[in-house]
Amino acid sequence: MNVPRVCIVLISLVLPIAAPAANSVLSLSHYDESAMDFSALQRSGLEGVIHEATYPVECDAKYGYRQSEAMRAGVLWGAYHFGNGTDGRRQADRYLDFVASRWLQGHNPGQPSGVLLVLDAEQNTHYPGGSMTVPEAVRFIERVHDRTGLYPGLYSNENWIRRVFNNPGLDSASRQALCNCWLWIANYHNPPSSTAPWARWALWQYTGDGVCGLPRGSYPTSFANLHRIERTIFSGDNSSLRRFWAEHSWLPSRDMVAAQ
């Protein structure tokens, strides 16, 4: 049996401040209560939104309406699930069922990019079920792949990645399953440097709730009229971001949803 490829940290691939980068992605959830004018945000440079879809025992009540409004404005759309320590496969099914149903109800047929899928696997301090373990994250990832043919992105902060997802005791199969995902990393104080077991990050969330230890001139914490918002940088320009989104997005179909 072949040993799975090793995801090597390449510090040189971490985006330098001077490199061209798209600071044009927001992450939203039911905690963001401000009214969203997505047409105005798009004119201000917004390219994509990744919105909470599901979290332990609940679905985000703001998700469907915001999806419709964002896509009507031509904004790329993504959905994340906040994971806990319960069965990862069941979490994935509930997440995908919700995302697919809302997509079929309210997507913009003129925008074929689909939904960018993300698992948020970090320390869980405010929902039931405890923090998601690596085995349950792997079960979630593999179920998403089974149903969509795509591996989701994985979101976590750099400290949690170092502690949990790059734990020396992690077996090679789990490490490989994680590396099948692209990485969305959070660090509000420094450009990310510890990405192992991933070779690099695709998205970097550098601020949330107004917290940012980086120079505000280069790393703003607001976007248009939205203050203390979660902002994310892509490791390339906006054209590369749109290609990335198209390559990694899921297009739910009525037949696929009905078959589950």
Give per-residue pLDDT as tens, 33-63: 888 999 999 999 999 999 999 999 899 999 9
DSSP annotation of 231 reads E
Extended strands (E) in 202-255: 203-207, 230-234, 249-250
Mean pLDDT within 206-212: 96
pLDDT surpasses 50 at 163? yes
pLDDT surpasses 70 at 245? yes
| Among 23, 64, 28, residue whose Cα is nearest residue 228 | 28
CA distance 78 to 99: 10
Mean pLDDT within 182-207: 97
Specify if 145 maps to a domain. Answer: yes
Sign of torsion over alpha carbons 50, 53, 56, 58? positive
Specify if 76 maps to a domain. Answer: yes
CA distance 206 to 186: 6
Residue 106: which domain range?
Answer: 37-259
**pLDDT recorded at residue 54:** 98
**pLDDT recorded at residue 106:** 76
Token duo for residue 18: 């001077």
pLDDT surpasses 80 at 90? yes
The string of pLDDT tens digits covering residues 223-238 is 999 999 999 999 999 9
**pLDDT recorded at residue 20:** 61
DSSP annotation of 199 reads S
CATH number at residue 70: 3.20.20.80
The answer to whether 258 and 45 are in contact (CB under 8 A) is: no
Specify if 16 maps to a domain. Answer: no
Specify if 52 maps to a domain. Answer: yes
Q: How far apart are the first and last CA of the chain?
A: 33
Q: Is 43 exposed, middle or buried (0-12, 13-18, 19+ CB in 10 A)?
A: exposed
Tell me, rounded to whole angstroms, the distance of Cα 112 from its chain centroid: 19
pLDDT surpasses 90 at 10? no
- Count other Cβ atoms within 10 Å, centred on residue 239: 10
List the Cα angle 230/145/249 in 5-degree steps: 45
Specify if 154 maps to a domain. Answer: yes
What's the pLDDT band for 110 if we cut at 50, 70, 90? low
pLDDT surpasses 70 at 1? no
pLDDT surpasses 80 at 15? no
Q: What is the largest CA-CA distance in the chain?
A: 55
**pLDDT recorded at residue 105:** 86
**Matching residue, tokens 């061209």:** 20
CA distance 54 to 13: 32
What average pLDDT does the chain have? 90
Specify if 146 maps to a domain. Answer: yes
What's the pLDDT band for 69 if we cut at 50, 70, 90? very high
| Among 1, 6, 3, 2, residue whose Cα is nearest residue 178 | 6
Specify if 231 maps to a domain. Answer: yes
pLDDT surpasses 80 at 82? yes
Specify if 137 maps to a domain. Answer: yes
% of the chain residues with pLDDT over 90: 83
% of the chain residues with pLDDT over 70: 87
- Count other Cβ atoms within 10 Å, centred on residue 61: 8
**pLDDT recorded at residue 3:** 33
Mean pLDDT within 86-104: 97
Task: Provide the number of structural domains found in the chain.
Answer: 1
Residue 96 CB contacts under 8 Å (≥ 6 apart), including other chains: 143, 144, 147, 148, 260
The string of pLDDT tens digits covering residues 127-155 is 999 999 999 999 999 999 999 999 999 99
Token duo for residue 3: 């040993």
pTM beyond 0.85: the answer is yes
